[in-house]
Amino acid sequence: MRFLSPYCLFLLLTVPALYFLQKRRGTGHIKFSAIKGINAVVSPALKIRNYLKWLSYVILSLFVIASARPQVNIGGGKVPSEGIDMVMIIDVSGSMKTIDKLPLGGLKPGMKSKPQDMESRLDKVKLISRQFVKNRKEDRIGVIAFAGNSVIVSPPTQDYKLLDRQIAALDFNLTTDGTALGMALASGINMLKDSERKEKSIIVLTDGLNNAGEIEPIHAAYLAKNYNVKVYAIEMGSFAENEILREQSIWEGVEHRLLDKMSRFTGGKHFVIPDSGQLYSVFNEIEKAEKSKVDVAGYADYVEIFPQFALPAVVLLTIQVVLLNTRYRKIP
């Protein structure tokens, strides 16, 4: 049982206060030289009238308890659940507009071009991510979009329909251009650091270099390690003919090693995929991570029980008033 207005219970302190005040005031009396034998002639009605007077304190106590709005829980509590808490960090920078081209070798024998081959990287990421989310059951998933800054799209939730709509609405206008990977990682870690689940993961989908933000990715990796958060870095478009990336010499090895080092340091894994066609298989591999059992708080269902205190108080008050004004009425 709980009280919705527990401070009202302080009014119960007035009950003993009124009792001692009434006792101190006392009643009128007549002096006798001897009282032997008086008790034998005291009317039973007088005793009952005294009981009715003390009944006022019981009635007051019941009304005070009712005013505190007592409630009882008829459902909810802890229910066992199994799953992973994860945050999907999706790159929405300008480079994600790229339409990946095929490797220099071209199509393999028997392969045909598909309509999806003409979609941008972000469109493909959104499609596969939505399919991945729809197949979840017990996982709690959050979404962060990032470019020059990070934007929290959704905190970890099991409302997969909501997540589907939010992922579908991702576009390139959410923030300024750039790739603030370290900042996005820090935001994801902040979402997961207080989770009671053993398995906590961040899935990063990016195709660019960290070139913005105040936090370096490697520093964010140390933070993730501290909170037992695994980072899975999915590097897209390594075979794409992207002039911007080819002009940056750092792309040849340095950033690649950084993503790999960051993932391995946190206990995760680094994936390099030529296009998003392999993305779903990567998601499935991440899903195979050990799932932890956890008690998830269900929605508690409370009902008001103040009538169980207020109704007896009203009944007792009615009986008291009727009896004190009829059969046990005091005549001055």
Give yes or no for a contact between 230 and 266, defined as CB atoms under 8 angstroms apart.
yes
Work out the average pLDDT over 163-177: 88
Mean pLDDT, range 311-316, rounded to an integer: 88
Banded model confidence at residue 81, pLDDT cuts 50, 70, 90: low
**Residue of higher predicted confidence among 137 and 171:** 171
Q: What average pLDDT score do residues 89-103 get?
A: 75
DSSP H helices in the chain: 14-25, 44-67, 121-134, 160-168, 181-192, 217-226, 243-247, 254-265, 279-287, 307-324
288 is written with which tokens?
Answer: 């195979």
**pLDDT bucket at 196, cuts 50 / 70 / 90:** confident
Over 50: is that where the pLDDT of 50 sits? yes
For the chain, the helix, strand and coil percentages under 3-state DSSP, each to the nearest 5: 45, 20, 35
pTM of the predicted model as reported, rounded to 2 decimal places: 0.56
- In order, the DSSP letters of 88-116 are EEEE-SGGGG--PPPPTT-SPTT----GG
Q: How far apart are CA 119 and CA 275, in angstroms?
A: 11
- pLDDT of 332: 57
pLDDT score of 115: 45
Domain ranges of the chain: 2-26+42-74+300-324, 78-103+116-296
- Let me know how long the chain is: 332
Which of 26-40, 63-77, 196-210, 236-250 comes out lowest in average pLDDT? 236-250
Ramachandran area for residue 21 (φ above 0: left; ψ -120 to 50: alpha; else beta): alpha
Show the tokens assigned to 164.
């589907």
Superfamily, domain 78-103+116-296: von Willebrand factor, type A domain (3.40.50.410)
**Would you say 85 and 201 are in contact if contact means Cβ atoms under 8 Å apart?**
yes
Range with the poorest average pLDDT among 20-29, 32-41, 93-102, 152-161? 32-41
Q: Give the three-class secondary structure for 239.
A: coil
With a cut of 60, say whether residue 54 has pLDDT above it.
yes
| The token pair that represents 158 in the structure block | 């099991």
Higher pLDDT, 257 or 224: 224
Q: Which residues pair with 2 in a beta bridge?
A: 71
- At 49, is the pLDDT very low, low, confident or very high (cuts 50, 70, 90)? confident
Task: Over range 193-217, report the average pLDDT.
Answer: 81
Residue 296, strand partner residues: 79
Q: Identify the pLDDT of residue 213.
A: 73
Does the structure show a pLDDT above 90 at 143?
yes
Q: Dig out the tokens for 24 from the structure.
A: 């101190």
pLDDT at 207 over 60: yes
pLDDT above 70 as % of the chain: 71
pLDDT at 240: 41
Rounded-to-integer distance, Cα 304 and Cα 281, Å: 51
User: Distances from the Cα of 33 to the Cαs of 15, 29, 43, 322, in angstroms?
Assistant: 36, 13, 21, 37
